[in-house]
């Protein structure tokens, strides 16, 4: 599925939704390694952006997004509307990242 046809909105200008397929999601659980935590701790002593955790979060979001797109393709959608992210700590040091939306079939508006 083309990631261009994903949006946090509920429509695509110039297109119309012809069928709603249902909710699709991508879920990943991530933890940082002991060495990664050590590096993050050292970075936190100096303040500012803790890049090792930023990279971990970005990778988790990208993976969850890709899984959501895969799910949408499996159910026959060509677009996802109302895309959202959610994150929860499953246990100390392990975070779940969820990307979800409504899978739809769209076509060019006439």
- Average pLDDT value for the chain: 87
pTM score > 0.85 for this model?
A: no
Give the pLDDT confidence score for residue 67 in this predicted structure: 97
User: Angle at the Cα of 52 (from 62 to 88), degrees rounded to 5?
Assistant: 55
Mean pLDDT, range 64-80, rounded to an integer: 97
Total domain count for the chain? 1
- Range of 2-11, 27-36, 51-60, 74-83 with top mean pLDDT: 74-83
13-63, pLDDT tens digit by residue?
Answer: 999 999 999 999 999 998 766 565 565 566 666 666 667 777 888 999 999
Q: Which residues of 39-77 are buried (b: 16+ CB within 10 A; e: fewer)?
A: bbeebeeeeeebebbeebeeebbebbbebbbebbeeeeb
**Cβ–Cβ < 8 Å for 82, 8:** yes
Give the pLDDT confidence score for residue 17 in this predicted structure: 96
Confidence label for 9 from pLDDT (cuts 50, 70 and 90): very high
Cα(23)–Cα(16) distance, integer angstroms: 18
Tell me which residue range forms the domain holding 40.
Answer: 3-108
Give the pLDDT confidence score for residue 98 in this predicted structure: 97
Instruction: Specify the CATH number for the domain of residue 34.
Output: 3.30.110.70
The DSSP line for 89-104 is EEETTEEEEEEEEEEE
């Amino acid at each position: 599925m083309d990631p261009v046809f994903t949006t946090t909105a509920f429509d695509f200008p110039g297109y119309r939704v012809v069928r709603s397929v249902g909710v699709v999601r991508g879920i990943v659980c991530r933890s940082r390694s002991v060495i990664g935590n050590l590096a993050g701790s050292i970075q936190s002593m100096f303040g500012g952006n803790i890049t090792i955790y930023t990279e971990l979060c970005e990778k988790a979001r990208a993976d969850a997004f890709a899984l959501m797109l895969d799910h949408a393709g499996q159910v026959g959608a060509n677009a996802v509307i109302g895309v959202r992210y959610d994150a929860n700590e499953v246990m100390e040091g392990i975070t779940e990242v969820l990307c979800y939306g409504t899978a739809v079939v769209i076509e060019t508006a006439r």
